[in-house]
Structures are given as C-alpha cells and as structure tokens.
Chains A and B, each alone.
Chain A
Amino acid sequence: MKPKHQRLWLAGLAVLAIAGASGLALSGLKDQASFFYAPSDVKKQGLPLGKAVRLGGLVEAGSIKRAADGVTLDFVVTDGAATTPVSFKGIAPDLFREKSGVVAEGQFQPDGGFVATNLLAKHDEKYQPPELAGKLHETRSLKQ
C-alpha cells in the first residue's frame, strides 16, 4: 500500500470516528438541546414545575383575550396534539398574533397552565408578499 493511500484510509477512518462520536453525543443531547417545550411534550413527560422554562407552539385562532387592565393577555398555545393556556403581563412583540408561532418564557402552574414573563415571536419559513398571504396560507394548511 502506498503511503498516500494509507493516509487516505487513516483520514477516512478518523472522519468516521469523529462523526460517530458526535452522533452519539447529539442523540444524548436530543431532549436537552430543545429550545422550548411543546404542549404535547408536557403532556407526555409531566409538568416541569418550579423552574423557568419555555413553551412554544402556535397561538390558537380566536384565543387571544386582553384583560381590562390592557397589559394582561390570555391565550392558548397549541401544537396540534395538545394545548396549554398561557397568561402574560407585558408588551408582546409585533409579530405576536393568532395562528402564528410563539415562544413564551415563564413557569408552568400545577393546574397545567403557564404564566409567561416574556414572549418571543416565532415565524415559519414561508416568506410571501401581502397580497398572496391569505390564499397560500389556506391551501398550505389544508394540505397539512
């Protein structure tokens, strides 16, 4: 075997070993590396009580209710399989709206609700001009 072929084999083996090791590490991280809990995660794993966590999903259509004080919002986060009611007091980002993504920072309550201290808007990967928005969104959500 020529030395350069030997080096090629060695390099290939090293790359495979590194890829395998990081694959193992990543699969171990799978649950810890998520940025937020989805409502159905909580249903499956139980409530992560007593610590600050994030809850993410879509704001359910027609669920946003503004309290009389003007700064308290109540809404429902859904991921299609489960829902969580959320209460938030403060200023929501501009992109916070119904049927759109949201990540809430705060704590779960023993009754299954969530009290948020901060809201982040999460948008999806679809970009389109305003005049197309309604139509495309409808057909896409029908397909899903």
Chain B
Amino acid sequence: MASLHALANPARFLRLARPLTPAFLLSGVLLTLFGCWAGLTQTPPDYLQGDSVRILYIHVPTAWLGMGGWSGIAIASLSYLVWRHPLARIAARAIALPGAVFAFLCLATGSIWGRPTWGTWWEWDGRLTSMLLLFFVYLAYMALARADADRGGDGRLPAIYGIAGTVLLPIIRYSVVWWNTLHQGESIGLTSSTVDSSMLWPLWFTLSGFTFLFAGIVLMRMRAMLARERREARMRRMAA
C-alpha cells in the first residue's frame, strides 16, 4: 500500500509516467501488429467457421479492455471516495474514453463476426444486450464526470456512479451461464481454454498488445489532465 500512496503524489507519478507512456505505446503497437499478423497467417482456420474465426484476435482483447476499463474506473472511484487521492479521480476520467471506445469496438467486431457465423448482425440476447448497456454506462459516466468538473464539483458523484456501474461486469461475464444466449459460452479461462492451442497463441500477443496500448493512452490522458489543472491553477494565481 505504501508504494501506491507514494504514486498518489502527482509529481512522482509524472516522473514515472513520462518514460512509461512511449514505452507502453510502442510495445503495444509491436505486440498487436505481430499478434494480428500471426492470427491472420500462422494459425489454421476453424473446422466450423473457417477463416471468420480470426476476428477473435481483435474481438476478445476489445471485450477484455471494455470490461477491464470499467474495473479500473471502479477501483479508482473507490480509492477516490475513501482516501481522496486526487490522482484517482483523474485516472477514472482518463480511463472512461478509451474504455468506451473498446466497448464499442467489441460490439462492432462482434456484430461483424455474428453475420457470417450466426446469420445476424444483432440479436437481443443476454450477452450482447449487457455489453451494449456497459457502452451506454460509459457514455453516461463521461457526461456526468464532465458536468461535475465543469461546475466545480468535488468528483464524488461520478465516483459513486463508477462504483455502482460495476454490477454490470458479473452480469456480462455470467450472462452466457445464467440464460440461454445466442452467444457461445466461455472459451478462454485462466487455467483452461476450449480454443485449440494451435489457434490460441496469437491471442496472447494481441491481448497484451491492446492492453499496453490502453495503458499508454490512459497515461497520456492523465498527463494531459494534470497539465491542464496545473495551468488553470497558475492562471488563478496570476489573476488573484
């Protein structure tokens, strides 16, 4: 915990974030490109779906980051509410936009995948509907956080909303278990996977690549927000 508290100091955070941002972005791009190349050329097609299965190397990372992004917002919101770390509030706001983008990409790639395999672009089944809800929850969070900041709020309201929205995560995760859905059940777990290993390995590259990209974007946004806050504080001092 001590190290996390040390990180909550904006100056120390900035010293760390400055070199990490390009490192994350670069490794993200390289890993993603390699994973996509391997997924497109180095793996066998699926016995049932043929080549359309390859979109999984994009679809799974976007789903993971769409949901992982909201977990980040929830953790940051909780630590802002409890410990009042100013950085936690900034982190939550910085995650919201890339999280929403990845949730949208998850819906879009899923829709493109659904057309050739299931025979439909969209169906209101439990998994698809709950993921769409998460996307809307992201949009509402961004609107709420911006309105709160514009009116000089203390950020408590968006933080409460950030924690409340977390109920969607287990619903998305278990929707395919609780209800009959068109979406198939869980293929990739921590310890086992129903994807054959000859097809699975490029996914680890795209998964880590997109995660690094996400982290790099979040750091970039946090640094921009800190810079803006500092400039505004300086302007206020000069005006006074």
Q: Which residues of A contact B (CB under 8 A)?
A: 4, 7-8, 11, 14-15, 18-19, 22, 26, 30, 33-38, 56, 92-96, 100, 103, 119-133, 136
Contacts and interface: CB of A to CB of B under 8 A. Distances in A.
Contacts of A131: 44
Interface residues of B, number: 42
B49 A95 contact: yes
Interface string B141-175: 00000000000000000001001101100010000
Central interface residue in B82, B123, B126, B187, by most chain A CB within 10 Å: B82
Interface of B: 44-49, 53, 56, 78, 81-84, 116-120, 123-126, 160, 163-164, 166-167, 171, 178-182, 184-187, 194-196, 198-199
A123 B48 contact: yes
Given A30-B178, A125-B184, A7 B82 contact: yes
B53 to A, nearest CB: 6
Nearest to B196: A128
Contacts of B195: 126-128
Main secondary structure of the interface of A (DSSP, over half): mixed
B78 to A, nearest CB: 6
A122 B128 CA distance: 14
27 contacts: A4-B83, A7-B81, A14-B164, A18-B167, A19-B167, A26-B171, A34-B126, A34-B180, A34-B181, A36-B180, A38-B180, A93-B117, A95-B48, A119-B119, A121-B117, A123-B118, A125-B185, A125-B187, A127-B53, A127-B199, A128-B196, A128-B199, A130-B45, A130-B46, A130-B47, A132-B47, A133-B48
